[in-house]
Amino acid sequence: MDEILEILEKDARTTPKEIAKMTGKKESVVKQKILEYEKKGIILKYRAVLNEEAIKDKNFNEVRALIEVSISPERGVGFDKVAERIYSFSEVKSCYLLSGGYDLLLIVTGKNINCVGNFVAEKLSTIDHVRGTQTHFILKKYKQSGDIFYTRKKDKRLAISL
């Protein structure tokens, strides 16, 4: 991967001037490359990575779940048409085609466990070609996309030796 993309992937707030210093390229070249990546759809958007556990807002209590979905491919279009129908739901934040025992992996959010359960029961499982699902609720996030969210709290007890 291009070093400009690697830098932006790690921290999208890195300025073209900083990237130029890091790569030894001219700032104007870096700016032009970034514009090209945006136009070609290589860079889709810039986003903040949030630590949801650190947000103390009572209204921000989303439940996240990983849902494995077994589907039968649709004749002539394979998995794509079914996946498109599934990922169009607002509850679905990510959708991946997998190898192995299940065909799709979804990352789904809801206000509570019941909302996620209703999504599975009323929306997901009623879609033609969906043969089965397995839902896993995310209890704690330690690391995502290379960013560590969990740090061990220091033990405040005094060390005593005899």
What pLDDT, in 10s, does the model give residues 36-72?
Answer: 999 999 999 998 888 777 777 766 678 999 999 999 9
> What burial letters (b/e) apply to 77-86, b meaning 16+ CB within 10 Å?
eebeebbebb
**Is residue 84 predicted with pLDDT exceeding 70?**
yes
Dmax (CA) for the chain in angstroms is: 75
Q: What is the mean pLDDT of the chain?
A: 91
pLDDT digits (tens, 9 = 90+) for 25-43: 999 999 999 999 999 999 9
- Spatial separation of the C-alpha atoms in residues 121 and 131, rounded to whole Å: 12
Nearest CA among 71, 119, 74 for reference residue 92? 119
pLDDT at 48: 85
Contact status, residue 116 vs residue 93, Cβ threshold 8 Å: no
**Is residue 88 predicted with pLDDT exceeding 80?**
yes
Angle at 133 between CA 129 and CA 137, to 5 degrees: 145
pTM, whole model, 2 decimals?
0.79
AA identity, residue 99: S
**Is residue 77 predicted with pLDDT exceeding 80?**
yes
Residue 105 tokens, joined: 């992996």
